[in-house]
Each structure stands twice: as C-alpha cells, then as structure tokens.
Structure 1
Amino acid sequence: MMNNREIYGSSGEKWAQFRPDCAGIDLYTLNLPAPWEYIYQNHDVLLKVDQFGPVYAQANPPGGIQLFRRENGQRFSSWAVWLQSDEMEDGKPFTNFFRPLIDGSNPSKEPQDLKVTFLPHCASYEYRVQNLLVQTEFFVPLHGTEIVMKLHLKNVREKAIDLSVCPTFVPYVNPAQLAPWDKYEWYLKSGVGKDDKELFWSQLLSSTSDPGERRTAVLWTDSENLTGLEISYEKFVGSGDLSCPQTVTDGAYRMKPELTASFGEYRDDNSIWGYPPVYAAKYGCRLESGGERVFTQVLCMPPNTANGGLPAIEDVKKPLVYFESSVYEQKKEEVQDSFKALCRKNKVRTGQEDWDYFINNWLPLQMEWVASLDRGWPTAMRGTRDCAQDYTAMLSIDTAIGRVRLLEMLSCQRSDGWFPRQFSTEGRTGRHDLRGHVDAGAFVIEFVYEYLSYSGDTGVLDVTLPWLDSDGESTVLEHLTRALDYYMVPENLGEHGLCKIGEGDWLDSVNRAGVLGRGESVMVSEQVVMCLQYLAEILESGDIRAEKAAVYREKAEELKKNLLEHAVNQDGFFNGIFTDEGKWIFSDKDPDGEKRPYGPANWFALISGVVPREKRDSVLRVMEMLKCEAGYRLYWPPMGASPINCVGRAASGDAPAGFAENGNVYNHGAQGFLTRALAAVGDGDALFDTLKWLLPYDQTRHPSSVTLSAPYAIVNCWQELPVFKFRSLFSFLTGSVGMAQRAVYEWMFGIRPALDGLVIDPCIPKWMNTANVEFTYLGRRVKMEIKNSGVRCCTPEKVELNGNVAVKTRKDPFHSRTVFVLEKELFQDGENTLRVIL
C-alpha cells in the first residue's frame, strides 16, 4: 500500500501514521526494519530517541559531554525501567519499552496496543500487558540540561497487583571519543545519596589535571516506596548483562535505601570509582484496580564551581521542580508553543497537501536539529563548510545564531586566508582538523554575503578577530578578502588557471587528486566565480575599496574564461577534476575508459553563471545521464572497478560501488545543488520534481520498506548496495536539510535577500497556478501570493508590495534574468502584502 500519511510495510502491515497538525508521528510496531530516530534539543542538551527508547544524550552539543549512550550493537536503551510481578502470567521482567525480553524465544513478540509517539515537545511510549497500562514520556525543556522521564502505570485489571519497579540508568559522562587506551569509568567518581529525594551523581575528572574539563551529571529519582539501590554496574548485572541483569531477575539489590550520605559525600557504602557505575533503584508498588502511579526521574548536568568543584547544592536541586505535575505541564506547554512559533516563521500553501505539510512542519524542525547536531557527529569539531551551509539555510529562521557561527569560523581562519576542514567547538585554541581541503573558504564567503543580506548587520564587517596562527586581530572584512585572495595567488592556481584542489574539495572521497600540488577543482573554481561577485558587491555597497571590487569582477571573468576553455569536454559537459597525474576525471573519457559525468561540477557551472545561455542544454543533458529509480545520482558509473591513480579512495577500490558518494543518489550534492541549478535556468517543473526526490516522505518514490528509514527523515543518500538497494544512509546528518530549506524558499519561491533589498525571483512549476508563502524579512512579516495564470515558471511581469507597483529591476549577475528588487525601506512595520504575477 502506498500512502504518504500512513506508512505500511511490504506485507501490508501498518507501521506508522503522521500526525496531521505538527511534525509528529505515531509508530505502531517495534519491528521496523531499522531504528527510526527523532531528536529533542535546546542547544544546552540533545536527546536522541528511537522506537526502543533513548539512544544517547549530550550536554552542550556537538562538542560536549555525552551523558549516556548505547554502544554499538546495543539495541535496548541504557535508560529504562524494569517491571515485574509474580501475579502476571509468566512472572518474567520486562521493560517500559517492552524490550529487551528475558525470554528471547520470539524476538518479534510485541505487546498489546503499542503506540510510540514522537511529537516536537515530547516522546511517548505506551502499551498494555495483561491489563497493565505502561506509558513513558521523555521531555527536554526550552533551556537547561535537564531531561525528564515520567513513567505512568495504570492497573485496569479487576483486582490489585503488586509490582517491582526498577529504573536503571547507565551513565557514560565522558567525551564522545576517548583515546584508544582509555576507559570511560576511569575518570568517573560516582555516588548515591539523599537531599530531599534520592539522587545519583557522577563526577567526571580531568585526565590532564585541567579543572575546566571537569563535569558533573546528576540523576534525581523518587523516594516513595524505595526498597533497594545499586551503584556498581558489575554488581547490578551479575552473571547476566544489561539485557538480563541478575539483580532484576532475583530482586536482590545490594544496597538499602537508608543512606544518610548527601550529595558529594563519598563513603565505602555509597560510591564507586575506577569501575563502571550504574544508577539502579527498586520500588515496591501496589496498584489497586483502577489505580495509577507516576514515577519521575530527572537527568541533568548542573554547572561546576569556577575551580571545577562539584556544583552548588542549590543548582543541583533546581530540577526537583519537574517532580511537580503542574510545573511539568507548564514547561511542556512552553516547548509546544515554541515549536508552533518555529513553524510559523515560514509557511507555504500550494495545494499539494502532503508537500505543504512536510515543508511547514518537518523541514523547520530538522533545520533546528541539524544546527545543533552539526551533521550528527557528537565530537568537539564542526565541519567548516558544513557549518557554513547549514547556517546559511538557518538564516531564514534565525539570523542571531548565524552571527555567532560566522565569528567562530572566522576566528579559526589561518592568516593566509585558508580555513580548516573542521574547527574546534572550543575555539581557535582547540584541536582542529587541518587536512588540506580547500573548499571551505568559498562556502564561508557565501554564508557571510547571505548573512549580511538577511540581517542587514553591516557592522559585523568592522568586528576584529584573531587568526588561527596569529593573535593579531583584523576586521571581518579583511578576513573575507584574505579568504578570497587565497584562491587567487599564483601558487594556488593550476596550469589551466583553475583553483588547485589540494587534499580535497566538496567531494570527500576524492582525497588524492592534488596532494602533489598539480590537481585542480572545477567546482571550487566555479564557487570562486560566485564569491568574487559576492565580495565585489559587499565592497561596492559600502563604498569601500572600489578598486578591489573592480579587480574581483575582472578575476571572475578570467576564471569563467578558463573554465570554458579548459574544463568543457567534447561531449559538451564539464569535467570535474584535473589530477596530479595530468588527467581529467569525471569527464567524457576517464582514465579507466568510462564516460563519467559528475553533477556538482555541472550544476555549479549553471549556478555561477559560467555557462552561456546557448550552451546550457548540453550541460543539462547530464541530468539524463544521472537519472535512476531513486532520483539523480552524484556521478555515474561508480569508480573503483579499474583503479585510477591520483584520485583517492573513490577510485582505488576502497569505497565500494554504491556506498556513500560512490555512484549514488547523494541528496546534498546530487539533488540539492541540482535544484539550485534548475532555478538558475528557470525550469520550475524539474526543480519541484527534483525536490520531491530529495525529500523522504513520498512513499511512491522512497517507500520506507525500501529505504528502511523514517519517512520524515531527510537523509544523506539512497545507496545501491547488494541486499539493500536504495536503502538510505544517515538520517538528519546531512547537508540535504539545508539544501531543501533553501530550495523551497530561495530558489523555488524566489525569496532572496540581497544587500540592497529583497530580490523576487520565483521559479515554480508551470502547473502551479497559485502559491502563498509567509516569511519574515528584516523583522517584518510578509504574506506573498504568486499568481501564475500564464502557465510560466519564472520572470514575473508585475510585483506589488502593499498595493504599490514595484519599479526597480536588474539583471541577475548569475542567470541574467530580470528580477525585481524591493528596497528595504519599502517594507512597513507589522504585516506586508506582496503580490507576484508571472
């Protein structure tokens, strides 16, 4: 069955159903083909969950401490509650997520009335077992590092039931990546005690004796009917393991609850260090017929004192408010209201109900996730180009956080203009990824141009910042000019006058094309053509360095000429990379004899305006060469069958065909960049179609029974592998989310802020006779209506703002169409009405 709101397995069983009014979904089975993940985050803490419960939590993502996590191959959660009653049929323990089961004879067994619900403000897991209703809720507030778990039990049996309720939490409380010789437990000093209620804590100590590296995690738990405790993981699991802990099965908890220790007090009877801890508790619970009981636990990481000491007790106790139901419900309402406001910032109405629903609800939510996840790697570094692209897309939602990231990146720039591949979340003095990739600067320059256009914050250009290799400070404008000049110095230009590739460009799997100093990148050269225009415009708009702006425009024309002269092959499309061996790859004839078109080099040729109008069709034929049943591939055919020298893992056989970038439908570069190129050439029909290939929800294009990922999850790519053809890779951990955000609002609906005003340049499908879009421009609300009675894609005939006909037009510097420009001062406070006639 195919239904975009109801998701079915290949055998017709109903897996899930989207909630109609928000970015929410109900799951009706645990037996999904893979984990379906969802994120809760507030920039102070991030919680990832799936149908089996919590996956991991990280304070201060993406570089902070992981509070807990599942290890590789561990399906069950490290934070769960074991339930057991001798009055039940087999008397065997089970968890509040029903799994893991002690009896593994039927791993597909499920409880009655199962429903797992992911809503933007909370996750809920509920089911019925022998007329005991079990419901668990996880919640992250708007601010702070608290994560709240509420377990709600209700007895709908005809008689009372006695239950053993055993919450279990395995703390990790360490950086995500440790040295190979380290163990997380070596740096933890853990204890259990009582201050108003029972609490567990773990103190992370510093392996380098740096007080600033110390952290403290605390878990508060209920006191009522507490009968046992355990702080040692090894004592807890006994002869079993976390999926079958002996302490749960035999009920013999080692420690009694009459502890007198306070927070921070370590004694022989309440603490452990050097060996792994566990936060395990046992409660006796009698529920009369119709009776209910709620158990609460709150995890948090309160701030240490200035010298790295344990947190002040008043900070430790702040999460106790979540034990009060009225406060808890109020905090949930705040988060719910916050997500409603997020989804109101930009809104579309096209008549395509499923598409509108996804764009209005799931896209902004995943933009929020990606910004905090940094493509999902819980490390202490952000990818420079990744960060620049993601936060460029975030500007239509939040310009303030864009300014923060902009200054962070520029502070980690080398004084010759080069940017690290990844920069430390700890700032310029942290540990960076200094591999010699060269593309980051181009993405940063575009990000700064977009930031200035969205925010109007020209004052940022005068902010002074240090360099990665120098404490001397220079203005943001100087940082930008050095970033651009880096590409123009003779030593960084190759024999064709194109930008050298160094250790790599956007395509990570080509990591050996220029390490000897000869290789050139067509895509980077095309990006630099754009950046030369961007920076020239910045210089001209401030009436500063006009002579340098003129030089940049001349350089752009020179680089265009070199690209057309040297990078276009006999088949009329652009080669991708010139290698150290002096050969073109991604060309009409690669060294292995294959014709291998590469999408991004051709899409950026169109995006940057390098391709003359009369030659666009030959470049666009690359689409036909790359089309397959799941969309548009990155390049085709895959590399590696016959190894090619001076390319890297893509062509050495070290990247299997059909995996990750190698010959796949790679959403970010294959389809995200393509939507931008199609907007440049004015093909709204193909743009909308490509965007639907990029997005995951359409079950006719990407059935969940094939992709195996959640139908809401924007993914990195659709792979072509044995057994799993077109299975997805990496939910949320992808630049595809930002590409989709920009594709909808900037490239399809043509809402493009520029330095001198708002450019109106829609490129919609011909069949879309009307569209309504709501957005915010410089703090002012705008309602835009596009009328398309002429069955056209682009080039408006008339634009009206608040009833006044717009008169300012200009030729776009990249695609050469005439666009309307609405000056900033034309927008009024409050609501503005914008009417566009195609």
Structure 2
Amino acid sequence: MNDNKTYSFNDEERSIRINRSDLPTPWINYLSNGKMHAFVSQAGGGFAWWKSPIIYRMMHYRYQNVPMDGPGFYTYVREKDGTHWSPTFRPSETPLDSWHAEHHAGWSLFEGTKNGVTARLKLYCAMDVDAICYDLEIINNSDEEKELGLFAYADLAQLEWSTDLFYGYYIQSQVTTFYDEDLDAIIYRYQHTPQPFVEDVPLIWMAADRKMDSYSGDRDKFLGPYRYEQNPIALENGHCGNDTIECGHPCAAGQVNVTLKPGESDRVVFTLGVAPGGLVKHKETLANIKTDLEIFRSHQAIDAQFAKLTGWWDNHLNKFDCSIPNKDVERQINTWSPIQTVHNGRYSRSTSWHAPGYRGFGYRDTATDMVGIAYRDTKWATDMFLYLLSQQFEDGHALHTCYPEDGPSMTRGVTKHADDHLWMPMVAYAILAETADYSLLDQDVAWLSPEDNWTTYGSDTVWTHLMRGVEFTENNLGEKGFPLTFHGDWNDIILRFSRAGKGESIFCGQQYVIVLRQLIEIATEAGRDQADIDRLQQCLDKMVNNLETHAWDGEYWRRGFTDEGDIVGTKQAEYGKIFINPQSWSVWAGVGTDEQNNSGMDNAIKYTATDFGLRLVYPGFKTYPHDPDPFTGYNPGCAENGAVFCQANGWAIIALAKLGRSEDAWKIFGDMVPHTALTNIGLERYEAEPYAYASNIIGPENKRCGWANVTQVTGTAAWMDLVGTQYLLGVRPTLQGLEINPCIPADWKEYSMTREYRGATYQISVSNPDGVVKGVKSVTVNGVLIEGQVIDPSSVSGEAVVEIVMGEE
C-alpha cells in the first residue's frame, strides 16, 4: 500500500482510497455495464446516461459552473433531531467524525461516520439490468437506539442534452413523473416527440429493496424554493412529500426509515434504472420494470450482479500482469492504465467532469483506443473496428466524428482529415496479431453515404476498405509528395497551415510508412494477391524516398509544409522550431539513419524536456494580440501549443526504446505515471487524479505550468499501456507470434510477467545477469531453447513457461 495523507493505493484490491473530499478537482470513477454508464467523483458528484449522453442523459450535472461537481449520486442519513449528513460528504457537507472514499474497477465506495452511526455507500451498475445500485449499509456503533431516515436523490434531466440546455423551458411541459403503487417506484417519462428514436425512449425509475416510506418526482418540491441539494426542504421535513409532476423539473427521490438498536446494522439498496420503450409500449415497459425489480428486491440477487461486475473486470485485467522493481510503474501497468483504456473505449473523448458528452466518438481516437483494447478484449476491438470501417466513405477517407446512437442530425458539417483512415490498418494489425484469423479481411462492410453521413450502402471486404484508404492517401499527396493535411492530422490545429488545402503533413507521411509496412506484412501472411503487395511496396518506397529527401532539417525532422510551401518545424523559425512527433515517428517508421534518428530525439529532449515529460512543440507560438493571424488561440504552454501532450510522449518512449535508449525512455515513462507526476509537481498545482493520465500538462511557458488538463478522456492511457507492456517490458504480439524484446533499466536484475495469448497463458521470467538495457541472449519455452525472439504460438498448448536471459547475443 502506498500512503500519503490525501490518498493511498491498495494494489491487492486494485483500488485507491481518498481521504479528502475537497480536492482541487473531482477525482472520478466510471461505472458501467456496457449500456448503462455513469461517472462519480470522490464527493459523490456525477451523472448517469443510457447508451448516449447526447440523447439519453438521465441526470443533470453542472459544467463550467459553481458550486462545482454536482449534482450527483446523493444519499442522506437523517437523524431523529433533523440533523442530516451524507456518506459522500456532499451534498449535505455536514462535518463527519470520519470519512473516506474508494475507487475500484467499475465501482466506488463511500464511508462516513457521524454520532456513532456509520454509513457505507457502494455505487455500481448491475450487469443484467440497466440500473445503478445505491447499496447502503448502515451500522449503529453507538450505545443508544437510532431512528434514521435514509434518502436517495437524483436530479433528472430532459434526456436530449442540447434540447435540455437550449429549449428546456419549453420541453419542461413534455415531462411526467408518477408513482406506480404496484411497482412501489417513482417513474419518469420524457415525451419530447422529435426524439430521434422514439421507440427506444426509456422510462427512468427509482425504487428500493423494500417499500419506500416516501418518494418524490418533483425537484422543486423536494428541494424547496431557493434551496439546493445541501439543504432540501424534504430533509428538513423528514418526508419526500410524495409529489409528482405533469410539467416542470423532474427528480427521483426515495425514503426508507430504519430503527437500529446498539450494534445493529441494516442494508438498504436503492436503484435508479431505465427500461426502453416507455413511450410506444408503455404497459409492456412497466411490466419489464416489474421483472427487473425482482432482482433488486433480493440481496442475494443484487450480490450476484455485483459479482458479475467484478468478474468482468478481473477477467479483463488478468490478461496481463507484471512484477517489476518499480512498484509505482507496476501499479500503473497492471491496473490503472488498462482501466482507463476501457473507459476511453466506451466514451472516447466525450464524457467526464469537464467534458459534457457532446463529442461523440472520434474516429482516430476510438481507433487508437482499440489498439490498446485488442490484446485484452479482441471481440470488442473487432466489433468497433468493423463499425469504424462502416464510417468510411467509398473514396477511402473517414468520418472524423461518429455518433452510433444519436441519429443523422449529429453528423452535419463533417471535416476531412489526413490521418483518420490511416489508423485502421494499425487496429487490424493489433487484432490479427492476437488471433491470426485472416478471415477478418474477407468480411463485408458497408460504405458510408456522403449524402447524409449516416446511412450506409453497398459493401466491400475489409481488405478493400483498407486498400481504399491507401488509394485516398495516394490521390491526395501534395507538391512535396506528402499527404495533404486538410483539416488536420493527429494534431487538428495544424490546419492553420493548410487553409487553402495545399499544406502537407510529414507526420502523416511517417504514419503512412508504418501502416504500409503493416499492410505488406498482413498481406504476405494472409496470402493476398501479389499485385496488392507490389502496390503497397511501390507506395512505401516512394514515401520513404520523399521523407529522406525533403523531411530532414539538418538536426531533426520537420513537421510539414504550409499552403505556400514554407517549412513547418525548422530551426530557422522563430516559433515552433521543433515538434516531437516527427522525431519519434521517424524511428517507428524506420526512416532515416540511426544517426539522424538519435539526433532527432536528442534535440527533442534538449528543447522540449520538462520534469514531467516532453512538450509537443518548442517554442510555443504567440497568439493574439501579438500575432494578428496566429497558429492557434491557445496560449503558449497550453495544449498543442507547448504543453506536455501526454499521448505524444508515449510515441517518444517507443522511439527511445527502439533506439535502445533505456535511461531516457524510462525517465519519461516513470515521470509521467500520474501518481509520480502529482508527487513531483504537487497536488495543489497538478490537481488531477493520481491514477488516470491527463491529455496534457501545462508547459513552462505558461504561469499555470504543471496543471494536468483534460483528465481521463485521452488516448494516453492506451498508448502508455502498449508502451509499458510491449516496448519497455518487451512482450509484443506480432503476426508470427509473441516477440520478446525488452528495454529496461540496467540495474534491473529480474522481473516476471503473465500474458494470455492465442488461448494460452505465458508465464514469463526475465533475468538480466549482465546488467544490459536491451538485447536477448536466449529464450526458453517449456524447457526448450528456441531460435530468435519470437515464440511460435503453434508450439504452445495451454500454458508456457518462458525464461528470458538478456545479454549480448
């Protein structure tokens, strides 16, 4: 256990204990069963949604507003004298005798004690029903009998977020709450008829594991005039009021009273759930709710749902496990990076305490998440891969942002980007390296219609889709021979240099080389037509030549070219002299000489290094009013304009590992572990979670240097997962088998890993008797010495004991 006053990790339980509710920012956890989703902070703030936070947002949450981090998943304990308090501390904010919160994989726990009474609230999603459990254990540790009122409360939203925001004052006349005596549940019905999928619109319900003593569906009556969640009139009165609405502001609140003798305890479980079809099949939906409630009226059945949830997470996290000398890094690799990657796979860059859930699924974002998901859940990665291909246009480019649950109105005003389609071969490679099932390439996938960017038509094979992406790039090369940037590559604000449509991306040229190499390998292993392989090789040779001819700036690699043909990322520039991505991706692409690539990484470190990673660009560009037509409105040191962009640091670590520069690679990797970054920078400056990566950390050119900005929803998690497992600890899946190629600190003498791969479990031990940082002397599998560093999976059945000895070959 790692301890400090604010928080401590319990690695055995894969959890973090938080001892302070008033943190600088919310530290959140996500709850989900795959369709029902929520996030909750250490203080109980957050909201729930079903399938999509755009059209099925169940609860309100205040963004860019104060008081911060609310409303949320609120419970109250009311004592006989009217005193009330919350195990989440908020919303009551009554001082407690003791308090802490815990975040686990997929569930959170809050424990508060006041006047000899302890309340433990466990929040989680049921796995077989779309419902969130407010599982409340109440214990009387005092020497007197306690008469307690237990309340649960949710501030319900008009399901369509933008409609609620802009037209809620009209739509409030299209909402109803009612109490169903047969179900003993408060029910909310949203009746806005233009809803894009009327047949799916759910009823939202709240109930308890026993008969409720009171309820409310009227937020205004529950809270009272000019009050809010901290001091509801219902708590003052000791009764929810039994109010419902036919217009106004809905809520779901329930009350259960308990009497506890000294030493006694009770368990009360409130549930907040949804049942689809509430508008068009109202009676059937109510009957379905009744069936669902049978689960939540039995503690044994509730416990079975919780066991299914923890079982899902155990299965996912156990796909890889390591024991290494650096325990902070070990914890991040084993637990928190894969947890965060799941969250990003589910929510892309859309939903957190600062991201309101309106962005949908970024094409490149979700593709990169699936590269990180593939080795733990190949089916999920494959399903999402096929969906993303269905969002590709027939000319080969892809929809930049996808809205799988939200209807065609969200896909207007689409933009074209140089890189979106180029991530798909990387996902294909990650999946095929796990399965070797090349029939994937022959599956038919439809094309996206450019008429509405929503409907699909026709179909072609996965391989045709991938090759069509190659042809799109080939058909859209600029004067220098690099991919046209269009509205951006991975760095969208690079579009400043391509407003006229002539700017070129060297970075995308490097990415193109990587995916061409992957496609050639896939085609060769799968026995595709030689004509396709020849075409891919022709494209590869041409792009490598372009890069080696036009992309080198003398000491490092350039970033691209403007519409006018001027160089982006050159030592001659006043601002934006060097970008780190071209330095790292050149190594990954295998372009240039070792001397050039080491020089590129040397200069990246020289100019961009901080104590918490490398800045994306140096120096940052000036903005208004210093430049009337700036690169960006971002101030220097912020985001893509000189912040430490964490995802890009993952690629830098890959490059350093491939170059054998262990000390540099591990310094960046270790410094960027969120717990380490917070420790080094300081809590009040860093602010964010010590278990989840941020998108970026404000750089030295800004007075807020060290602030972790845009947390949780970032591709950093997937890339750092892959960096740690594949390129540093050195267990990398390939089409031929499991490659062993570590890059470790010289003082590591040994470490071990467990890796599930193609139906077998690999128990891997690594010894380093000579203190090298890279190089494998021998690989032994089940006592048999093999040639090379790739383990042929056909030679393994069930379990493999793998012994690696590092050293000079």
Is the structural similarity TM-score above 0.5? yes
The alignment status of 1:55 with 2:46, answered yes or no, reads yes
Q: Match of 2:453?
A: none
Shift of 1:373: 2.0
Aligned partner letter, 1:75: D
Counterpart among 547, 551, 554 of residue 563 in structure 1: 547
Shift of 1:118: 1.9
Q: Match of 2:463?
A: 477
2 CA distance for matches of 1:194 and 1:372? 36
Unaligned runs of 5+ in 1: 8-13, 102-106, 257-269, 810-819
Counterpart among 139, 154, 177 of residue 190 in structure 1: 177
Shift of 1:236: 2.5
The alignment status of 1:207 with 2:207, answered yes or no, reads no
Shift of 1:687: 1.9
Residues 29, 110 of structure 1: 8 Å contact kept: no
Residues 198, 222 of structure 1: 8 Å contact kept: no
Residues 173, 217 of structure 1: 8 Å contact kept: no
SS of 1:153's equivalent in the other structure is strand
Shift of 1:244: 4.7
Residues 780, 832 of structure 1: 8 Å contact kept: no
Query: Against the structure 1 CA distance between its residues 312 and 676, is the aligned structure 2 distance closer, same or farther, given a 3 Å change threshold?
Result: same
Shift of 1:234: 2.1
Counterpart among 324, 327, 338 of residue 364 in structure 1: 338
Aligned partner letter, 1:554: Q
1 CA distance for matches of 2:589 and 2:510? 6
Q: Deviations over 1:7-49 (max 9, x none)?
A: 3xxxxxx111111313211122212222111122221222211
1 CA distance for matches of 2:730 and 2:258? 60
Aligned partner letter, 1:275: G
Counterpart among 24, 49, 74 of residue 33 in structure 1: 24
Residues 333, 725 of structure 2: 8 Å contact kept: no
Q: Match of 1:175?
A: 160
Shift of 1:55: 0.5
Q: Deviations over 1:732-760 (max 9, x none)?
A: 21111001111012211332222233333
Q: Match of 1:681?
A: 659
The alignment status of 1:354 with 2:319, answered yes or no, reads no
Query: Against the structure 1 CA distance between its residues 187 and 79, is the aligned structure 2 distance closer, same or farther, given a 3 Å change threshold?
Result: farther
2 CA distance for matches of 1:551 and 1:231? 64
SS of 2:445's equivalent in the other structure is strand
Q: Match of 1:274?
A: 247
1 CA distance for matches of 2:743 and 2:150? 59
Q: Match of 1:263?
A: none
The alignment status of 1:631 with 2:627, answered yes or no, reads no
Matches within 5 A, 1:625-704: 625-641=607-623, 651-652=631-632, 654-669=633-648, 671-698=649-676, 700-704=679-683
Residues 589, 596 of structure 1: 8 Å contact kept: yes
Shift of 1:521: 0.4
Counterpart among 669, 683, 696 of residue 717 in structure 1: 696
Counterpart among 494, 498, 502 of residue 514 in structure 1: 498
Unaligned runs of 5+ in 2: 352-356, 450-455
Report how many residues are paired. Answer: 786
Residues 583, 600 of structure 2: 8 Å contact kept: yes
Aligned partner letter, 1:629: D
Query: Against the structure 1 CA distance between its residues 84 and 542, is the aligned structure 2 distance closer, same or farther, given a 3 Å change threshold?
Result: closer
Q: Match of 1:605?
A: 586
Q: Deviations over 1:153-185 (max 9, x none)?
A: 333333334444433221125134437632264
Aligned partner letter, 1:676: I
Aligned partner letter, 1:365: I
Q: Match of 1:440?
A: 420
Q: Match of 1:10?
A: none
RMSD: 2.7
Shift of 1:468: 0.8
Q: Match of 1:578?
A: 561
Q: Deviations over 1:687-706 (max 9, x none)?
A: 22221123212254344343
SS of 1:551's equivalent in the other structure is helix
2 CA distance for matches of 1:212 and 1:438? 38
Q: Match of 2:531?
A: 547
Shift of 1:274: 3.3
SS of 1:192's equivalent in the other structure is strand
Query: Against the structure 1 CA distance between its residues 605 and 308, is the aligned structure 2 distance closer, same or farther, given a 3 Å change threshold?
Result: farther
Aligned partner letter, 2:674: P
Shift of 1:54: 4.2
Query: Against the structure 1 CA distance between its residues 606 and 539, is the aligned structure 2 distance closer, same or farther, given a 3 Å change threshold?
Result: same
Shift of 1:354: 2.7
Shift of 1:595: 5.8
2 CA distance for matches of 1:61 and 1:769? 48
1 CA distance for matches of 2:372 and 2:719? 7
Residues 779, 805 of structure 2: 8 Å contact kept: yes
TM-score normalised per structure 2: 0.91
Q: Match of 1:339?
A: 313
Moved more, 544-553 or 473-482: 544-553
Query: Against the structure 1 CA distance between its residues 252 and 354, is the aligned structure 2 distance closer, same or farther, given a 3 Å change threshold?
Result: closer
TM-score normalised per structure 1: 0.88
SS of 1:182's equivalent in the other structure is helix
Query: Against the structure 1 CA distance between its residues 437 and 287, is the aligned structure 2 distance closer, same or farther, given a 3 Å change threshold?
Result: same
Matches within 5 A, 1:453-464: 453-464=433-444
Higher percent of residues as helix: 2
Shift of 1:576: 0.9
2 CA distance for matches of 1:427 and 1:606? 40
2 CA distance for matches of 1:614 and 1:249? 71
Q: Match of 1:132?
A: 117
Query: Against the structure 1 CA distance between its residues 250 and 594, is the aligned structure 2 distance closer, same or farther, given a 3 Å change threshold?
Result: closer
Q: Among all aligned residue pairs of Structure 1 and Structure 2, give the percentage whose two residues are the same amino acid.
A: 19
2 CA distance for matches of 1:543 and 1:636? 45
2 CA distance for matches of 1:156 and 1:765? 51
SS of 2:181's equivalent in the other structure is strand
Shift of 1:225: 6.6
Aligned partner letter, 1:635: V
Shift of 1:392: 0.6
Matches within 5 A, 1:726-765: 726-765=706-745
Query: Against the structure 1 CA distance between its residues 793 and 249, is the aligned structure 2 distance closer, same or farther, given a 3 Å change threshold?
Result: closer
Shift of 1:604: 0.5
1 CA distance for matches of 2:167 and 2:388? 31
1 CA distance for matches of 2:796 and 2:258? 63
Q: Match of 1:20?
A: 11
Residues 686, 708 of structure 2: 8 Å contact kept: yes
Aligned partner letter, 2:3: E
Shift of 1:322: 2.6
Shift of 1:407: 0.6
Q: Match of 2:792?
A: 823
